[in-house]
Amino acid sequence: MTPPIRVLVVDDSALMRKLIPQILQSDGSIQVVGTAMDGHFGLKKIEEVKPQVVTLDLDMPGMGGLDMLKEIMLRHPVPVIVVSSHSTQGASVTLQALSMGAFDFVAKPIDVSANMPEIARELISKIKAAAQSRRVAIAAPIEARKQSQKPILETKTQATRIVAIGISTGGPQALQYLLPQLPKNFPGTIVIVQHMPEGFTEMFSRRLEEICAITVKEAQSGDLLLAGRALICPGNRHIKVKRLPMGDVAVLNDEPRVNGHRPSVDVLFKSVAEEFGEKSIAMLMTGMGEDGAQGLGVVKAAGGMTIAQSEESCVVFGMPKAAIERGYAVRVIPLDALSNTLQAQCMHDRKVGSKTESEDRGRSAGVGKN
């Protein structure tokens, strides 16, 4: 038997310091080795008990969570799972934490006695993933750059191809690395499913919008899939794409969870494959579990391009691994090469499109489904 995963719980709420260990100890392979009520204590405890994973509340007196996180990353890097509150402010701070190197986050438990199974499952699986994760050297988070007025998106320009991205743990960091590299005249349109609860996705989209040349927006039903635009599926909803007479749109729905997720990557990939066929590019990035693996297969079967992020650049090599093992990934590419690959794919397609399809249909993403 492997030794249990040593966890340190840092939270200023006495209740949480009791509750989180209780939740964790329901799993035999996790051992809470200590608790701390603020950042100072937390750092001391880290040195003392050498935990493998830290759960961290961000809103604490004294040394707050973000300051502590900075110290942790600097002094004794250990995966940190942020236990985040549900407020808007909570979301924004959480995202800040993620871009500073927090491994992942969970929402603060709500109504434990009723929701224990889900709460426990999520927290425990994330802790296990964190314990197994390797440290991935991620380029320093890109500072928000003052965007000079972004061009108003030309609704007439149809995207050359649709890029569907499925991503989970480690995603915020990876996307904040990848998306800013795309130029504002990026010819493809992007739809992203990032496993993240409601409220967080909005904040996340805003943050990306700030640092990207392309426009980034939390998707609403009816949003157009435009070139140079990335839509992020809001938490707790599914996203599909639809081709309508006047343009291609994203459609949200509230159908049940798929693979335990809503949004689910599989839902997006399958819908993309169905609507766009060989015009689709599906990309499965860092994250635990298998959501999206099957969908990647469907895209491949429909003639689309499928990409999996390579193991060494993944914080958690779960979803891409599942796809690669099944043979669904046409290409396996490290994070730092993804931007170029996407640009090449989308450009390349435009050329091919104008050559092979002389009847001026290359501008429409609709050509894929003849």
Partner 1 sequence: MSQFPDERAAELKELFFETALELLQSLNEETLKLEKQPGDLESVRTIRRIVHTLKGDSAAVGYHELSELAHELEDALALEGGGAPTALAEVAFAAADTFSAMLSSYRDQTKLPSAEPVRKLIRKMARDPKTRKPRIPKTKAASVPEVNWTEYEKLAMQAALQQGKKVYHITAQIDPNCAMPIAAQQLILKALAENGEVLGTRPEPGSAKNAMQFQLLVASDQTAEDLTVKCRIPTVISQVRIECIGTPAPKPAQKEMAGEVGTEHLSSQSPVAQNEEKAEAKIVAEPVHETEPALTPQPPDREATAKPIPALPENVLRVDAERIDIVLNLVGELIIGKSMLQQAINEFAARYPKEAMRGRFADAMAFQSRVLNDLQRSVMKVRMVPVEQLFRRFPRMVRDVAKQCGKQVDLVLNGQDTALDKSLLDAIAEPLTHLVRNAVGHGIESDEERARSGKPAVGTIRLQAYHQGNQVIVEISDDGRGIDAQKVRTRAIERGLLKREQASQLGEADILDLIFRPGFSTADEITEISGRGVGLDVVQSVLHRLKGTVHVVSHSGQGSTFRLQLPLTLAIIKALLFRVEERLYAIPLNAVAEIARAHESDIHRVDNCEVLQLRDRVLPVARLGRPPEDRLEGRSERVFVLVIATGERKLGLLVNAIEGEEELVIKALDEQTAETDLVSGASILGNGHVVLILNLAAIVERFANSRPDTAGGPGMGLLLSHSERARFAQSAVGGRP
Of residues 206, 326, 350, 361, which one binds partner 1 by CB under 8 A? 206
Determine, following the binding rule CB under 8 A, whether residue 260 of this chain makes contact with partner 1. Answer: no
Residues 47-76 that bind partner 1 (CB under 8 A): 59-64, 67
Report phi then psi at 25, rounded to 5: -75, -5
Closest CA to 228 of 149, 307, 145, 157: 157
Hunting for tokens 């995202």 — which residue is that?
Answer: 95
* Active-site residue flag, 27: no
* Active-site residue flag, 84: no
Q: Other C-beta atoms within 10 Å of 186: how many?
A: 26
Catalytic residue selected from 99, 125, 133, 168: 168
How deeply is 13 buried, as exposed, middle or buried, from its count of CB atoms within 10 A (0-12, 13-18, 19+)?
middle
Determine, following the binding rule CB under 8 A, whether residue 4 of this chain makes contact with partner 1. Answer: no
Of residues 7, 21, 33, 35, which one binds partner 1 by CB under 8 A? 35
Of residues 18, 134, 257, 369, which one binds partner 1 by CB under 8 A? 18
Determine, following the binding rule CB under 8 A, whether residue 257 of this chain makes contact with partner 1. Answer: no
Of residues 1, 2, 111, 137, which one binds partner 1 by CB under 8 A? 111
Q: 20 with 9: CB under 8 angstroms? A: yes
Of 223 and 290, CB closest to partner 1: 223
Determine, following the binding rule CB under 8 A, whether residue 275 of this chain makes contact with partner 1. Answer: no
Report phi then psi at 21, rounded to 5: -60, -35
Catalytic residue selected from 195, 248, 310, 313: 195
Q: 282 with 275: CB under 8 angstroms? A: no
* Active-site residue flag, 86: no
Residues 171-200 that bind partner 1 (CB under 8 A): none
Hunting for tokens 């830290």 — which residue is that?
Answer: 54
Of residues 4, 19, 181, 339, which one binds partner 1 by CB under 8 A? 19
Q: Helix or strand or coil: residue 265?
A: helix
Closest CA to 265 of 322, 345, 181: 322
Determine, following the binding rule CB under 8 A, whether residue 3 of this chain makes contact with partner 1. Answer: no
Residues taking part in catalysis:
168, 195, 291
